[in-house]
Amino acid sequence: MFGLIGKKLSHSFSKKYFTEKFQKLNLSPKEGYMYELFELDKIEEFENLIRENPILKGLNVTIPYKKSIIPFLDKLDPVAQRIEAVNTIKIEKDGTKIGYNTDYIGFKSSLEKFLYQKSKTGFKETALILGTGGAAQAVKIALEDLNIKFDFVSSSINQIQDNFTYQTLPYSEIDITNYKLIINTTPLGMYPNIDDFPPLSEENYSKIDANYFLYDLVYNPEETAFLTKGKNKGAKIINGLEMLHGQAEAAADIWGI
């Protein structure tokens, strides 16, 4: 049995994805191949969940528990340790709970493909990461491992966190001519608020041209207002769907499916 833990899971991608995957592989519910949604009002309920469901072999973790789940685990994969966030748990036969971060895997593989397909000579520019939340940390580590320089920007200069060593500026003070890869890690523009977009200045948006790469981790809608602004100026764009599929497949590999 597998599942997803989070606070609000009504719009979960994971249950449909894994249920269909089990069907394609002819893995039946009778054999225990089920994927369930477990809404937890608080992370402390995790221990009861594990106790009440001894057949659980793996879990995905979503907002707001990617960080707060860590004290409840026995081990962390080295990448999850660096990111300080977990979105996949493997439960061994002896009950050992190991935390992984497959957001990193999904993002890194999709970004490499995106940049290589659109820029055969490789990417030597600096990236700008919009947002400083949990997803931004996975993006940060992936960029480090790809040797891509980056800066962060958030809505408030007060959002600097101890585990980062970077300069954080208000959106309005950024000059995007210094950044040819712009990655939105915030939920701005996500359904149903599809008219929202990161508050870079209109002057900045006007500077975007065919030399820019825009990556939005949001995948619903397929093309966010942020991506539309870039596409209209000739930029190369990608949404978060490939990353989502990549992180799900990486979780399946960890679980041995």
Tokens describing residue 130: 């919009």
**160 secondary structure, DSSP code:** -
| Catalytic residue set | 66
Sheet holding 75-76, edge to edge: 35-39, 2-6, 58-61, 88-91, 97-100, 75-76
Work out whether the CA dihedral 214, 100, 133, 161 comes out positive or negative: negative
Identify the DSSP state of 24.
Answer: H
Dihedral, CA of residue 6, residue 134, residue 73 and residue 254, to nearest 10? 90
The DSSP result for 182-219, as a single string, is EEE-S-TT-TT-TT------HHHHHH--TT-EEEES--
- Amino acid at site 232: N
